[in-house]
Amino acid sequence: MNKDQNSKPYDLGQRTKKFAKEVRCFVKSLTNTLANIEDSRQLIKASGSVGANYIEAEESLSKKDFLMRIKICRKEAKESGYWLELIEERGKEVNEKKALLQEAMELTKIFGSIVEKSK
């Protein structure tokens, strides 16, 4: 399957990994203010945690364990959006930040939907 740069993987494992990698690229381009450094650390942790917990959910031992991991994915995706909102971007990073905020919101909704359907 041929995908362009902006297409989103259907596989959530791939999609969450892509999100974490894109966050890391975005952070590298930011101005090194004290606030950006601290907020970026939190953002990197939260964005990576989305995918890491999704991997754990796929290997869950029970439905209860699966739901707990998916809820953590949702929480970390939402937290990623929070840190993105706090980061101060320059002109060239505005569109990248908007795209990452959109992806964080979409991941939050996807994981929320999985939680609702799993009840």
Question: Measured between alpha carbons, how far is 53 from 10 in angstroms, rounded to an integer?
Answer: 17
> pLDDT by residue (tens digit) across 24-80?
999 999 999 999 999 999 999 999 999 999 999 999 999 999 999 999 999 999 999
Residue type, 42: Q
> pLDDT by residue (tens digit) across 65-90?
999 999 999 999 999 999 999 999 88
Structure tokens at 60: 């869950």
Please count the CA atoms within 13 angstroms of the CA of 46 that sit on its side-chain side.
Answer: 22
The b-or-e profile of 46-58 (16+ CB within 10 A means b, else e) is bbbbbbbbbebbe
**Global confidence as pTM:** 0.89
All structural domains of the chain: 13-118 (1.20.1440.60)
Residue type, 100: L
Among residues 93, 102, 104, the alpha carbon closest in space to that of 36 is found at 93
Q: Torsion angle, CA of 14/16/20/23, rounded to 10 degrees? A: 110
